[in-house]
Every structure is written in structure tokens, then in C-alpha cells.
Amino acid sequence: MNKKLVCMSILAGLLVSNTSSIVFAAPASTNTVVTGRTEQNIKTGMIMPTAIQSQVYHNVTKEVTLTGTIIIDGPQLVFTVTDPNGSPIPDSNITVTNVADKTYTYSVKVDPSAFKGNVNYKLSAKTIYKNGKTAGQTHTSAPDQKQNIHVAYVNSFEYSNFTFGAYDRNQNQYPYSYDLIKVWDDGTKTSKGVTGTVSGESSVSILGEDPTYDGGPANVGNQIPPVNIKSFEIKPVVDSNWNWSDNKYNLSFTLIKNLSNGQIEENQEFISIDPSTTYTYTAKDDRSPDYSQDFTFTAPAAPAPVVSDVLVEPSSISSKWTGNDANGGNVQENYTLTYKINGQSFSKYLSTNFTNGTGYSDQNLLYTVAFNGEDVNVSYTLPYIRPASTDINTSNAGSGSNDNNGKGSH
């Protein structure tokens, strides 16, 4: 009975030069067995790769071990591996172990980091004759196999849920947050929360970065902060005009709005203030509904009324005797006084007596009138105009009156 002796094989020290293939000596037999087989290069071998279970990343994963089983007959095994570009894997990275008759396991260290997506490593196995006239020729071969590795990489970026937080007026900046989404080559998406702060005068550049993404940071988008009021100011020059119709000062001034984006707006504002009072003006803007700034204005006292163009025209004067003696009685003059206060024109019909004791000379008179609630004195000169001597009012003999000191009103 023929008996086969099974021995542990050892890794051959022979490396076929310029071939990047591992040569492994098959176990020897103490008995010669006639197989009856005369043909060469019989394709009865098999290569059975083991699926890669670990996650592999482009530019990141520098080493992956390919493993699997080879079942093949023959005296000396030659095993080669080439990468997706067709370059051979160095023999120093390949380990083959004989685990049973015609059965081997392999372990191949490869660096897939330069590749992307689904890539295949080509596995080739054959046995060759060791000696004799057929030395080096193929004894048995196995169909080539591909061992697949999925090298994951980020294909693009997206973002969502972008939010600016509350405006920090002291620092003129905004906090912000958003979700950066990585879109992987197989279509899956992963997200990561991003937070930061940005000046009100700047903007947020949303950049996508990942070591598996080629080409540097990707510009995913840009967000401009909302506009807020950083502060209010009032220009030093304030124009004021007194309004005699309502006894108020009308103020006009320039309100400066310093915006968070660095720009400046100017608005012309108008307010009315009572004389001798302090007025508080509150500056607001709808873009910053929770912010305001107060400014105070103090008005001076009301200006004194200005009287001008006071006139008594002789043509408006009518004179007559009020005594019973044309040479010694009193003279009454009725006339129209015209004048202006702060440019407004007024007229008043008055009556004044010249008594005998005055010598009938011109009189300097004072007419007091109420103007916008204030007494205003109108000074004027009344010329004496002698009436005709025959014009004697005997019915009022001995009596005279002067009502020019009465008070009028406007």
C-alpha cells in the first residue's frame, strides 16, 4: 500500500529575479506515485480571496492586508499580486503559508491610499516544475482573481441649518453655527456641527475639508451677517429757529447711524421744543428693535418780540376841539397806528387828547399790546394837528381824555 508523507513546507529562499512573484516549494513525497498525467499547464487551481472587512480611506489608510486561500497542485508555487495600476507588489510584502496538501494561505500588505472608490488587486497563482527538462514550465495554474477594496473618499460637501446668533454690540460680532455635510463617493452623507464667530464687517466662508478630499478646502458657500445698529451719533451742528406761531423752537439735526457692517447712514431729523426746557430724543431703528440711544437738547428762553415799522400817518389823523373856547380848549385826535411785530403787520385805531397845558406839542406815546401771551410795547410819536377854530364842541366843554395807554391784543 502506497503511503504519502505530508511535511510542512518552508518558504523558498529562491526569488525569481525581476518578477515580483513569490516562489514556494511544494511538499516532497517519499513515494513516487504515477499519476498518468502527461500534459502541462492544467488549470485546476483556485484562488479564493477573503473579503476586506475594515474601512479603507483615500489618503489615510496606508496599509491593508489582503488574505485568502490558494488550492493548487504542483511542485513549486509561484504567486504574484499587482495593484490597480498594474504595478507588482514587492515580494517582501507577500507571505504564503502551506496549511495542507495543495492548500496555501496568503497575506499581502498593500498601500491603497492613492486610489479612490472600488479598486481591484490582481492575484495570479501557478506551480512550475523544479528540475528536469521541463524545469520552470507551468505544471498547474489557477484562473486569475481580483481582490476588491473599496477606498472611501469625500466627493463633495453641503451645509444646512446655518444660523447667526445674537449680535454682540461691544465686540461687533456674531456667533454662528451650521452643519457641514460630507457626501461620500457611495452617496452616503455624514454631518458635523460647526460653530464660530464673525465680525459684522465680514462674512462666513463655509469650507469643506477632509483628508480624503483632494484639491484642498472646498468653498461650499458664503453667509453675510445681518445688519444691526452699532451706535448712533448726532452731528455737532444743530439748527434752531423760533416759531412765533406756536412759541416753540424748531430744531433740525443730522442723526448718524453706525452700522455693524462698517457703513454709515445719515438721516435729517426735526423736532419742536418749548423754550427753556430740556427735550430727550430717542434714536431707534427697526433693524435693531431692542436697541436705542437717548440724546438731550436744551432750548434757550424765548426771544423778545421785535417791533418795527411803527407809523402814524398824518393823513389818518382827524382833530377837533373838545373845549368851549377855541383858544383854550382841549384837542382830540383820532388816528390809525400801524406797526409790525416780528415781521407781522398790525394796525390800531386810537384816540388821544391834547390838553391846553401841553402847549399842543407833539406827544411821545406808548401803546402796549399782548402778542403771543406776552406784553409788547409799541412806541410812537403823535404829531399835533390844530383843528379849525370854528370846530368847538360845546357839549364836551371842559372835559378831555387820552386812551392811548390802553392795552390792545393780537
Give residue limits of the domains in the chain. Answer: 21-151, 154-223, 229-298, 307-409
- In whole angstroms, what is the distance from residue 123 CA to residue 46 CA? 11
Amino acid 133: pLDDT: 73
For 244-278, the DSSP string reads TTTTEEEEEEEEEEEETTS-EEEEEEEEEE-TT-E
- In whole angstroms, what is the distance from residue 80 CA to residue 108 CA? 10
Give the β-pairing of 138-152 and 173-184.
unpaired
With beta carbons less than 8 A apart as the criterion, state whether 57 and 212 touch.
Answer: yes
Residues 6+ apart with CB under 8 A from 290: none
- In whole angstroms, what is the distance from residue 308 CA to residue 346 CA? 11
Provide the 8-state DSSP code for 42: B
- In whole angstroms, what is the distance from residue 155 CA to residue 148 CA? 20
With beta carbons less than 8 A apart as the criterion, state whether 326 and 342 touch.
Answer: no
Amino acid 388: pLDDT: 77
Check if CATH label 2.60.40.10 holds for domain 21-151: yes
With beta carbons less than 8 A apart as the criterion, state whether 23 and 95 touch.
Answer: no
With beta carbons less than 8 A apart as the criterion, state whether 10 and 25 touch.
Answer: yes
- Report the chain (410 residues): mean pLDDT per 10 consecutive residues: 32 33 49 37 86 95 97 94 97 96 96 96 94 84 96 97 97 98 96 97 96 92 97 90 86 96 96 93 96 94 88 90 70 93 91 78 92 88 83 43 53
Of the candidates 252, 273, 255, 272, which has an alpha carbon nearest to the alpha carbon of residue 264? 255
Amino acid 315: pLDDT: 86
Three-state SS letters, 295-355: EEEECCCCCCCCEEEEEECHHHCEEEECCCCCCCCCEEEEEEEEEEECCEEEEEEEEEEEC
Amino acid 391: pLDDT: 56
Of the candidates 149, 151, 129, which has an alpha carbon nearest to the alpha carbon of residue 140? 129
Using DSSP's 3-state secondary structure scheme, residue 183 falls into strand
Grid cell 525581476 — which residue? 18
Give the β-pairing of 407-409 and 363-371.
parallel
For 186-225, the DSSP string reads TS-EEEEEEEEEEETTS-EEEEE--TTSTTS-EEEEEEPP
